[in-house]
Chains A and B, each alone.
Chain A
Amino acid sequence: MVALSVWMVAPACADVHSSEQDYFQEFPVVLSASRLSQPLSDAPSAVTVIDREMIVASGFRKIPDLFKLVPGMYVSYYKGSQAIVSYHGTQDQFARRMQVLVDGRSVYLAPFSDVDWESLPILIDDIERIEVVRGPSAAAHGANSLQGVINIITRDAAMQSRVGVSTTRGEKGISDVSAHLGKIGEVLDYRLTLGYRSDNGYDPRTDLPLQDTLSNDSYATRLFNLRANYHPNVADNFDVQIGASSGVRGVGFTSSTLNTPHDLRATENFQQLTWLRTLNNNDELRLRYYHIRLKKEESTVTYVGPVPVSFTDTPLSDRQELELQHTAHLGGANRMVWGAAYRSDYAKSENYFLVPVRQNEYRVFAHDEWRITPAWLLNAGVMVENGGLGRTDISPQVALNYHINPAHTLRAGVSRAYRNPAMLEEKGFWRYTLPLAIQQPSGPFGPYYPILVASGGLKPEQVLSREVGYLGKLPDYGVSIDLRVFHDQYRDTILPTKVTYPLPPGNVFDLYNSPDDMGQSGAEASLEYHLTEPTRVIFNYSRNRISTVLPGFQGNMPEEQYGMMYAQRFGEYSFSLNIYKQSAALPADRPIWDKQPKHQRTDLRLAKSFRSVRGISGDMAIVLQNLFDPDYSEYLVTNVFDRRGYAKLSVNF
């Protein structure tokens, strides 16, 4: 008991530091259901997470390169600015069988159904983490998740409170500049990125009959993106993103008569609005709209005999999508995500289509995660999709996870997924208009010189995927293990075929669904050692065998791939060594001389960080790529990647 006197001070004016208000303040929901990633041991598929630490330690400047850190992923470049990223191969110049999402926005676009990585208006530094689903996942990630899903999650608006600038200079014309700024407020956060990225692409071949083949692939891309997050109350969250990029790239080859060296201009912009409403019981309602527009422009002049022929194309691709998703907790052990989406794709091009093409897609999906017992977890999902070609396809997925104990999990799963034919595959009429002087009006195509004439009526490709996986943790040793064996059976693979005409031009391409199946089986392993904070070691291994009679697909994917990342910090210094190794492979659409021999690439990064000196902090890094292997080339034998070094300086105010 305390005896106390009466105070004479006016209490309202008293300077009171301590208040119970700290216990009563309301916060907005930050880690909402859709923002949280599913723990790997609960996921229905194998998932590789590339986190910020790995992104930095990789030393990479370009986003597609990051996928070299994923077992079973094939990363290569047709051009310095044209990346090919595919899981388990089967790609040609365009990788079409994977879903790629940036904050939920699907960025593989018509008419080729590929991803123009260089046009994406984001920088590698904008990325918070990447989740790569290894295996089909249509029920959870939408159409086209045939082989796998890349899910890029960019930095939240509330993660940038300072001004940062960085510059990279190096060999081979490497010159990047970027600026980031952001502000965090009570109800509104935003961040802005401005970036410029350029280099001279690949080195020319100097030791072959092809030595005069210069890969014309220098490029420079400017971009910006803005992300704002408005959270006016505890339950509502509005995420607004806009961005645009504009770039000039060298394309064409000195050895080509039609595709002569020239510039391609690409501009892309997007707008995205996501409204997230948190309901009772952590349930959630999400409405998302986005729009992407990608426009390219190129013209080249070639000579047919003495006649100069100029070709111009301005392909345009436009996509809009609206998606509604509801996450509901049905009791403590059952979580269901379901929703519907509408997507409209539009494409036009002087040379690829006779008339502009529009394709509308509808889909409904549901995915349920049911903890039958603490040890058994069942994931079941289905997507029903009408891809706009008069068909309805059903893509189911079932996986059962058994937690032997919290540290060890076994998983078995089976799923089916579809890939709708790309617009060009279904409706393409790819041709060039010849000048009058050399037209063959008597031929079947009149004034046109056709390359591809799609007769249409294609069925979607489908895959039936089966896998067994194991995830283990040995916390005392800081070790985690991810193993997976799989067998994927592909049907109705869409392939080009030559159609021969008696009159010029002779051959044109068409596409058909192959009656032959393709089987892929293999194993993937990831082992990570991360016992103490300063040391991290990751080993990846994948083995992939393709059995098929389909032309070009045998040997299309390196049978074996290895990867290793060793990252070490010593106080303010950090060091990382990355080794990527793969067996020989020949891309499906390339002649034998483009066969990539077995090769190994070693990258090294050294960095020193500066901690707050008068409010300024930053770091300086030196990266050396392909330290040892002088003969390393990618995709085309002429894409020589000599050793290259660059330095990056980043300062934060």
Chain B
Amino acid sequence: MRQARTLIYLLLWLLIPAPVSCWAENLKVLVVLSDSSTPYLSFASALSKSLPPSVQASVLETPERLSSSMYQADLVVAVGMKATEFAASKTTIPMLSVMIPRMGYEELLVRASPKTDHRLISAIYIDQQWDRQIEFWRAVLPERRRIGLLHSQDTNFDLEHLRKKVAQRGGSLQSQQVRSSDELFPKLEGVLANSDVLVAIPDSSIYNSSNIRNILLTSYRYGIPLIGISQSYVNAGAMCAIFSTPEQFAEQASGVMVSFARTRHLSEPQYPATYTIAINHQVARSLGIKLPPQETIRERMGKTRGGEQ
């Protein structure tokens, strides 16, 4: 089935007549999705809507079937880590990675061997920069300065860097490393007892569907809100979250592609340009927290971030 779909995409792409263009920057783009799950498909469909006619994009939903000889494209857009890994190893053309964590991208660079052929590569990260997240926490809960955070050994980020950034803005970071699943709840209670707010980080050994019930129920018992990193957190019972949607990533990627068409240069790796804020008003109310309206949150964040949306 998948193969058939891939073939159809390929044929369609081959059948599209080269558009009559007034510029010389006609661009053939191969969009490789990590798989055919909703976030990637949403990205692909939003991208196809936002691209100008001069950019021809074909979509491959199965990165395993990627082979350099099969495609003649100017740019490969790899959506997600898996697609990125395949595109990096199977193609040599310029690559834009989208919706990948910054750490994943950096790991990729580290593994690159310096002596082989060079190519153009850049990325749009899925994570929001720490500055934006901290501004968000502050804008939502200005009174709650003690930020609680749980991380595991697998967590790839500079904790001390974050601690400094939080301190610079008048807050403090209460963090605990969880080494095993037995430790999760004592550590969670330890963090909750000394925090005003708990913030989630992308760490599936802590935030997974087995633990989320206990994390949410325990923090609720302590009267402490959880700030999540996706809509799903907010649906489950986190008080709010800041994240970017596939549509927002598509918009940003489309901009990068148009610019590439013109200049044949890829811009620097970048964080999401636009973001979405989700709020669970029921949870906020139940915790006795009065949240400012979204516009006020954005305004507060904008003030300190120089007008970013």
Residue of A nearest to B37 (CB): A24
Cα separation A21 to B92 with both chains bound (whole Å): 26
Contacting A39 at CB < 8 Å: which of B80, B104, B211, B285?
A: B285
A437 contacts partner chain B, Cβ-Cβ < 8 Å = no
Contacting B107 at CB < 8 Å: which of A10, A17, A612?
A: A17
Chain A interface size, under 10 / 10 to 19 / 20 to 34 / 35 or more: 35 or more
Q: Is A159 within 8 A of B286, CB to CB?
A: no
B221 contacts partner chain A, Cβ-Cβ < 8 Å = yes
Q: Is B213 within 8 A of A189, CB to CB?
A: yes
B295 contacts partner chain A, Cβ-Cβ < 8 Å = no
Residue of B nearest to A234 (CB): B235
Residue of B nearest to A14 (CB): B85
CB 8 Å contact bits of B257-296 with A (1 = contact, 0 = none): 0000000011111000000000011110111101000000
Contacts of A615 in B (CB 8 A): 182
Contacts of A234 in B (CB 8 A): 232, 235
Number of residue pairs spanning A and B whose beta carbons lie under 8 angstroms apart: 196
B304 contacts partner chain A, Cβ-Cβ < 8 Å = no
Q: Is A6 within 8 A of B92, CB to CB?
A: yes
Cα separation A3 to B88 with both chains bound (whole Å): 12
Contacting B232 at CB < 8 Å: which of A9, A27, A129?
A: A27
B148 contacts partner chain A, Cβ-Cβ < 8 Å = no
Cα separation A7 to B119 with both chains bound (whole Å): 11
Cα separation A233 to B120 with both chains bound (whole Å): 42
A256 contacts partner chain B, Cβ-Cβ < 8 Å = no
Q: Is A7 within 8 A of B112, CB to CB?
A: yes
Q: Give me 26 A-to-B residue pairs in the complex whose CB atoms sit less than 8 angstroms apart, sorted by A's number.
A: A2-B121, A3-B120, A4-B109, A4-B118, A5-B114, A5-B119, A6-B119, A10-B89, A11-B86, A11-B89, A14-B85, A18-B101, A23-B126, A23-B202, A23-B243, A26-B232, A27-B212, A29-B235, A30-B213, A33-B282, A42-B285, A159-B214, A161-B185, A184-B213, A229-B213, A615-B182
* Residues of B in contact with A (beta carbons under 8 Å apart): 37, 39, 64, 80-82, 85-86, 88-89, 92, 99-101, 103-104, 107-109, 111-122, 126, 143, 154, 156, 182, 184-186, 193-194, 202-204, 207-214, 216-218, 220-221, 229-230, 232-233, 235-237, 243, 265-269, 280-283, 285-288, 290
Contacting B193 at CB < 8 Å: which of A33, A186, A475, A533?
A: A533
Q: Is A22 within 8 A of B88, CB to CB?
A: no
Contacts of B80 in A (CB 8 A): 20
Chain B nearest Cβ from A27, distance in angstroms: 4
B-contacting residues, A147-174, CB 8 Å: 156, 158-159, 161-162
Known interface pairs A16-B104, A19-B101, A22-B204; A28-B122 also in contact (CB < 8 Å): no
Contacts of A24 in B (CB 8 A): 37, 39, 230, 232
Contacts of A128 in B (CB 8 A): 221
Q: Is A29 within 8 A of B282, CB to CB?
A: no
Contacting A4 at CB < 8 Å: which of B112, B213, B214, B221?
A: B112
Q: Is B209 within 8 A of A28, CB to CB?
A: yes
Contacts of A10 in B (CB 8 A): 89
Residue of A nearest to B218 (CB): A159
Contacts of B269 in A (CB 8 A): 2
Q: Is A1 within 8 A of B283, CB to CB?
A: no
A52 contacts partner chain B, Cβ-Cβ < 8 Å = yes
Q: Is B88 within 8 A of A7, CB to CB?
A: yes
Contacting A611 at CB < 8 Å: which of B82, B186, B281?
A: B186
CB 8 Å contact bits of A484-507 with B (1 = contact, 0 = none): 000000000000000000000000
Contacts of A1 in B (CB 8 A): 120, 122, 265-268
Contacting B203 at CB < 8 Å: which of A7, A22, A28?
A: A22
Top-8 shortest CB links A-B: A31-B237, A22-B202, A11-B85, A18-B104, A5-B116, A158-B213, A27-B236, A3-B118
Chain B nearest Cβ from A651, distance in angstroms: 14
Known interface pairs A1-B268, A18-B103, A158-B217; A25-B209 also in contact (CB < 8 Å): yes
Cα separation A8 to B99 with both chains bound (whole Å): 23
A441 contacts partner chain B, Cβ-Cβ < 8 Å = no
CB 8 Å contact bits of A260-284 with B (1 = contact, 0 = none): 0000000000000000000000100
Q: Is A406 within 8 A of B290, CB to CB?
A: yes
Contacting A5 at CB < 8 Å: which of B118, B229, B282?
A: B118
Cα separation A489 to B216 with both chains bound (whole Å): 43
Residue of B nearest to A52 (CB): B221
B-contacting residues, A36-72, CB 8 Å: 36-42, 51-52
B-contacting residues, A577-632, CB 8 Å: 611-612, 615, 617
Contacts of A457 in B (CB 8 A): none
Q: Is A19 within 8 A of B209, CB to CB?
A: no
Contacts of B116 in A (CB 8 A): 5-6
Contacting A30 at CB < 8 Å: which of B109, B112, B119, B236?
A: B236
Cα separation A332 to B282 with both chains bound (whole Å): 10
Residue of B nearest to A42 (CB): B285
Residue of B nearest to A652 (CB): B186
Residue of B nearest to A38 (CB): B286
Q: Is A617 within 8 A of B122, CB to CB?
A: no
Contacts of A475 in B (CB 8 A): 143
Q: Is B186 within 8 A of A31, CB to CB?
A: no
A185 contacts partner chain B, Cβ-Cβ < 8 Å = yes
Contacts of B288 in A (CB 8 A): 39-41
Contacts of A372 in B (CB 8 A): none
A12 contacts partner chain B, Cβ-Cβ < 8 Å = yes
Known interface pairs A27-B232, A184-B213; A20-B100 also in contact (CB < 8 Å): yes
Cα separation A335 to B208 with both chains bound (whole Å): 31
Contacting B209 at CB < 8 Å: which of A21, A27, A282, A406?
A: A27
Cα separation A483 to B64 with both chains bound (whole Å): 67
Cα separation A3 to B213 with both chains bound (whole Å): 44
Q: Is B101 within 8 A of A20, CB to CB?
A: yes
